[in-house]
Amino acid sequence: DAKTTQPTSMDCAEGRAANLPCNHSTISGNEYVYWYRQIHSQGPQYIIHGLKNNETNEMASLIITEDRKSSTLILPHATLRDTAVYYCIVRGQTTGANSKLTFGKGITLSVRP
Amino acid sequence: GAVVSQHPSRVICKSGTSVKIECRSLDFQATTMFWYRQFPKQSLMLMATSNEGSKATYEQGVEKDKFLINHASLTLSTLTVTSAHPEDSSFYICSARTGYNYGYTFGSGTRLTVV
């Protein structure tokens, strides 16, 4: 699976949009971009994923560049409860024992009042 | 949506004893489950991949005789930390691959403290 690079941390004001960048310059054509987040002392939570088209769900939007070498997770109206570590993960759609999910260091988002 | 239940959420045990952590998929069948360990201020590290009806696959550097994994049914995988030592104190998290969007659902984690 391709490696991802994320800033260590960022913060944003409550109510404003949080834009979390991720670089994945070695991504291959069949690899998806996944975003998970981990609130302190909890298990990771799925947010969104995409292949090449932009995606939106009730939690966030995912913007993938045309060359697919980077992406941005957008939380449109950040709340204090969005403070967490956000992980950008790239992987293919394999199955079985090869389908493991590998976590990097992620980006710590701090939402301030 | 898919739910993975992990139990217990917290456990304190004495050095030398064994601790079992359970991971259940509540509304789906999971042929493959994954066990992670997370030390403070660090990311999740995959320990092993648990396959129903077969032996688990351990990541390099993880002692299979110390961390026993059993995946006897399509809805239950267990991790037993044998002869626990203080350095085994960590946050253990399981996950299962769901059919929905090829995503993964995670348990809420187990905080193990060995004293």
Mapped onto helix, strand or coil, the DSSP state of residue A92 is strand
Q: Which residue has the higher pLDDT, B97 or A12?
A: A12
Q: What's the pLDDT at A92?
A: 75
Q: Do B95 and A44 touch (CB under 8 A)?
A: yes
pLDDT tens per residue across span A2-49: 789 999 999 999 999 999 999 999 998 888 999 999 999 899 999 999
Q: Which residues pair with B37 in a beta bridge?
A: B45, B92
Distance in angstroms (rounded) separating the CA atoms of residues A35 and B104: 11
Query: Which residues in chain A are closer than 8 Å to B44, comparing Cβ atoms?
Result: 38, 44, 103
Phi, psi of B29 (to 5 degrees): -100, 135
What is the amino acid identity at position B75? T
**Predicted confidence (pLDDT) at residue A97 exceeds the cutoff of 80:** no
- Chain B interface, Cβ < 8 Å to A: 4, 6, 31-32, 34, 36, 43-46, 49, 51, 57, 91, 93, 95, 97, 101-109, 111
In this structure, the dihedral spanned by the alpha carbons of residues A36, A6, A101 and B77, taken in order and rounded to 10 degrees, is -60
Compare CB distances from B32 to A36, A42, A99 and report the shortest one's residue: A99
The total of other beta-carbon atoms located within 10 Å of residue B69's CB is: 24
Judging by DSSP bridges, how do beta strands B10-13 and B110-114 pair with one another?
A: parallel
Task: Report how far residue A87's alpha carbon sits from residue A9's, in angstroms, rounded to the nearest whole number.
Answer: 11
Tell me the pLDDT band of B100, cut-offs 50, 70 and 90.
low
Assess contact for A90 and A24: CB atoms under 8 A.
Answer: yes
pLDDT per residue over B45-72, tens digit each? 999 998 888 889 999 999 999 999 999 8
Q: What is the mean pLDDT of residues A88-95?
A: 78
CA–CA dist B95, B44 (Å, integer): 12
Say whether pLDDT at A78 is over 90.
yes
pLDDT recorded at residue A58: 94
Q: pLDDT band for position B33 (50/70/90)? A: very high
Residue A98: pLDDT band by 50, 70, 90 thresholds? Answer: low
Quick: pLDDT tens for B81-95. 999 999 999 999 999
Which residues of chain B have a CB within 8 Å of the CB of A39?
none
Distance, in Å, from the CA atom of B95 to the CA atom of B108, rounded to the nearest integer, reads 9
Are B9 and B28 in contact by the 8 Å Cβ rule? The answer is: no
Contact indicator for B35, B94 with CB cutoff of 8 Å: yes
Q: How many residues does chain B have?
A: 115
Question: What pLDDT is recorded for position A76?
Answer: 97
